[in-house]
Chains A and B, each alone.
Chain A
Amino acid sequence: MPEPLLNVDNLRTYFSTEEGVVRAVDGISFDLAPGERRGVVGESGSGKSVTAMSIMRLIEPPAGEIVTGTIEFQGENLLTLGEDEMQEIRGAKIAMIFQDPMTALNPVYTVGDQLIETIVLHQNVSVSEARKLAIKALEDVQIPNAEGKLNDHPHQFSGGMRQRVMIAMGLSCNPDLLIADEPTTALDVTTQAQIMDLMLKLAAERNTAVLLITHDLGVVAGFCDTIQVMYAGGIVEYGTADEVFHNPQHPYTWGLLGSMARLDEEQKHRLHSIAGAPPSVIDLPIGCRFRPRCEFAIDKCGKVLPMLQSAEHGDQLVACHRADELDLKTIAVSGEQSTEVAS
Chain B
Amino acid sequence: MTEPGGDIGEAPVQPDEALGLAVEPVTQWDLFSSRLRRHRLAMISTVFLMLLMTVVILAPAMESAGWIDDPTKGLVDANGRILRNISPRASDGEVFYTEIIDSQQVTFEASPTALLLGSDDLGRSVFTRIIFGGRASLTVGLVTGFLVASLGTVFGSLAGFYPGGVDQSLMRFTDLVLGLPLLPVAIVVGRILPEIEFLPSFIRTGPFGIAMLIGFLAWGGLARIVRAEFLSLREKEFVEAARAAGAGDNRIVFRHILPNAMSPIIVQTTLIIGAAIIIEAALSFLGFGVKPPTPTWGAMVSQGGRQAVRGFWWEMVFSGAALVTTVLAINFLGDGLRDALDPTQTIERK
Q: Which residues of A line the B interface, CB within 8 A?
A: 56, 58, 62, 83-84, 87-92, 95-96, 98-100, 103-110, 112-113, 117-118, 121-122, 131, 144-145, 147-151, 153, 155, 166, 169
B344: Cβ under 8 A from any A Cβ: yes
A287 to chain B, nearest CB (A): 36
- 122-181 of chain B: CB within 8 A of chain A: 164
B240: Cβ under 8 A from any A Cβ: yes
Give Cα distance in the complex from A169 to B16, angstroms: 23
B301 to chain A, nearest CB (A): 40
B18: Cβ under 8 A from any A Cβ: no
Query: Is A121 a contact partner of B247 (Cβ separation < 8 A)?
Result: yes
Query: Is B23 a contact partner of A113 (Cβ separation < 8 A)?
Result: no
26 contacts between A and B (CB under 8 A): A58-B240, A84-B248, A87-B247, A89-B246, A90-B243, A90-B245, A91-B247, A92-B246, A98-B237, A98-B241, A98-B244, A100-B237, A103-B236, A104-B238, A104-B241, A105-B241, A106-B260, A107-B260, A108-B341, A117-B255, A144-B10, A144-B13, A145-B23, A151-B31, A155-B344, A166-B241
Query: Is A95 a contact partner of B245 (Cβ separation < 8 A)?
Result: yes
Query: Is A148 a contact partner of B240 (Cβ separation < 8 A)?
Result: no
In the bound complex, residues from chain A placing their C-beta under 8 Å from that of B13 are 144
Which of these, A100, A122, A145, contacts B246 with CB under 8 Å? A122
B256: Cβ under 8 A from any A Cβ: yes
Give Cα distance in the complex from A100 to B243, angstroms: 16
Given A109-B28, A144-B13, 5 additional A-B pairs, CB 8 A: A104-B241, A105-B241, A106-B255, A112-B25, A169-B245
B65: Cβ under 8 A from any A Cβ: no
In the bound complex, residues from chain B placing their C-beta under 8 Å from that of A103 are 236-238
In the bound complex, residues from chain B placing their C-beta under 8 Å from that of A155 are 343-344
B192: Cβ under 8 A from any A Cβ: no
In the bound complex, residues from chain A placing their C-beta under 8 Å from that of B344 are 107, 153, 155
Q: Shortest 3 CB-CB distances between A and B: which pairs?
A: A91-B246, A145-B11, A91-B245
- 240-267 of chain B: CB within 8 A of chain A: 240-248, 251, 255-256, 259-260, 262
Query: Is B238 a contact partner of A106 (Cβ separation < 8 A)?
Result: yes
Q: Which residues of B line the A interface, CB within 8 A?
A: 10-13, 16, 21-23, 25-26, 28, 31, 164, 236-238, 240-248, 251, 255-256, 259-260, 262, 341-344
Interface centre among B16, B240, B246, B248 (most CB of A within 10 A): B246
A158 to chain B, nearest CB (A): 11
In the bound complex, residues from chain B placing their C-beta under 8 Å from that of A56 are 243-244
Which of these, A87, A108, A147, A149, contacts B248 with CB under 8 Å? A87
Give Cα distance in the complex from A229 to B236, angstroms: 28
How many A-B contacts at CB < 8 Å in the complex? Answer: 104
In the bound complex, residues from chain A placing their C-beta under 8 Å from that of B28 are 109-110, 113
Give Cα distance in the complex from A122 to B23, angstroms: 26
A170 to chain B, nearest CB (A): 8
Query: Is A91 a contact partner of B11 (Cβ separation < 8 A)?
Result: no
Give Cα distance in the complex from A89 to B247, angstroms: 10
A53 to chain B, nearest CB (A): 9
Give Cα distance in the complex from A110 to B11, angstroms: 17
Give Cα distance in the complex from A262 to B237, angstroms: 34
Query: Is B23 a contact partner of A147 (Cβ separation < 8 A)?
Result: yes
In the bound complex, residues from chain A placing their C-beta under 8 Å from that of B240 are 58, 98, 104
Query: Is A151 a contact partner of B25 (Cβ separation < 8 A)?
Result: yes
B34 to chain A, nearest CB (A): 12
Give Cα distance in the complex from A148 to B11, angstroms: 9
Which of these, B16, B242, B247, B260, contacts A108 with CB under 8 Å? B260
Give Cα distance in the complex from A269 to B308, angstroms: 90
Give Cα distance in the complex from A148 to B20, angstroms: 12
Query: Is B236 a contact partner of A118 (Cβ separation < 8 A)?
Result: no
Which residue on chain B has the smallest CB distance to residue A87? B246
Query: Is B244 a contact partner of A96 (Cβ separation < 8 A)?
Result: yes
A331 to chain B, nearest CB (A): 42
Interface centre among B25, B31, B243, B244 (most CB of A within 10 A): B244
Give Cα distance in the complex from A115 to B260, angstroms: 18
Which of these, B246, B260, B343, contacts A90 with CB under 8 Å? B246
Which residue on chain B has the smallest CB distance to residue A52? B244
Query: Is A104 a contact partner of B243 (Cβ separation < 8 A)?
Result: no
Query: Is A106 a contact partner of B256 (Cβ separation < 8 A)?
Result: yes
Give Cα distance in the complex from A177 to B236, angstroms: 23
In the bound complex, residues from chain B placing their C-beta under 8 Å from that of A113 are 28
Which of these, B164, B247, B256, B260, contacts A62 with CB under 8 Å? B164
B80 to chain A, nearest CB (A): 65
Query: Is A147 a contact partner of B241 (Cβ separation < 8 A)?
Result: no
Given A110-B26, A110-B28, A131-B25, A145:B237 Cβ within 8 A: no
Query: Is B26 a contact partner of A149 (Cβ separation < 8 A)?
Result: no
A122 to chain B, nearest CB (A): 6
Give Cα distance in the complex from A99 to B241, angstroms: 10
Give Cα distance in the complex from A339 to B171, angstroms: 55
Which of these, B21, B23, B244, contacts A58 with CB under 8 Å? B244
Give Cα distance in the complex from A104 to B260, angstroms: 14
Which residue on chain A has the smallest CB distance to residue B245? A91
In the bound complex, residues from chain B placing their C-beta under 8 Å from that of A100 are 237
In the bound complex, residues from chain A placing their C-beta under 8 Å from that of B244 are 56, 58, 90-91, 95-96, 98
Which residue on chain A has the smallest CB distance to residue B32? A108
Give Cα distance in the complex from A96 to B245, angstroms: 7
Which of these, A118, A144, A148, contacts B23 with CB under 8 Å? A148
Give Cα distance in the complex from A121 to B256, angstroms: 14
In the bound complex, residues from chain A placing their C-beta under 8 Å from that of B25 are 112, 131, 150-151
Which residue on chain B has the smallest CB distance to residue A89? B246
Which residue on chain A has the smallest CB distance to residue B233? A106
Given A103-B237, A151-B23, A109:B245 Cβ within 8 A: no
B96 to chain A, nearest CB (A): 61
